[in-house]
A and B are shown apart, each in its own frame.
Chain A
């Protein structure tokens, strides 16, 4: 259903764009994490690759940070879909994107 896919993609880009870059507020961060997790888990497996390919380098790095944040706080079904996101993001961002999750001084 292209309409649903389009919506998921738009929600994804919105979540990426509105990620609070420089905030110290734990509450804001958690809210953004929750939103991102909801968006990521709403995707069908087949739609993930297209979404990842629509990101620029900084977007892929940001996505990887949220994926690992999602791994940190697993919910019922989150890990399975996050692992699929991880596989696609890794294919585009390479190990470097994971290194930058580990070295980032500003966490998401």
Chain B
């Protein structure tokens, strides 16, 4: 993605419309990070529109594919039970947009560990994202951990990754050691996917 193109601030009035506009945007050669982020933020979360994708798992957060963006991007909904969190991870050279649809998520940013990672990873910053806010990250910005720190509320988030990727690295906060993991979907297009491997990141 390069510098911003002709920006007319589009507002997505429904999830369907959001997907439509995203398809249009991503069919272009030049795509603007700011435009996508504004678009994602403009969509006012309406649970009726995404409830069918929001499948929770008791033990950990889930990734539920909503749209495969004609190969240009993946749009998915993540469901976080109380206390569920991710490991520290990278984004395999892709762009990552994360919008809160329900509840709150805490995002902690980390610096990339030194080559010979052998010490505690450095925290850069942390923030709590509120409903309808949209965050953006890519590998040049850093690594992050995302977690639902609430003990009483679940959280739901909408993620866009471009280009799509199905594996990433997770990092041990105490040592900086990384470990490649494959990511899978808990459900796709509203249907539960049962796979042999249960590995998710």
Asked whether A and B interact, the reply is no
Interface residues, chain A, with chain B CB atoms under 8 Å away = none
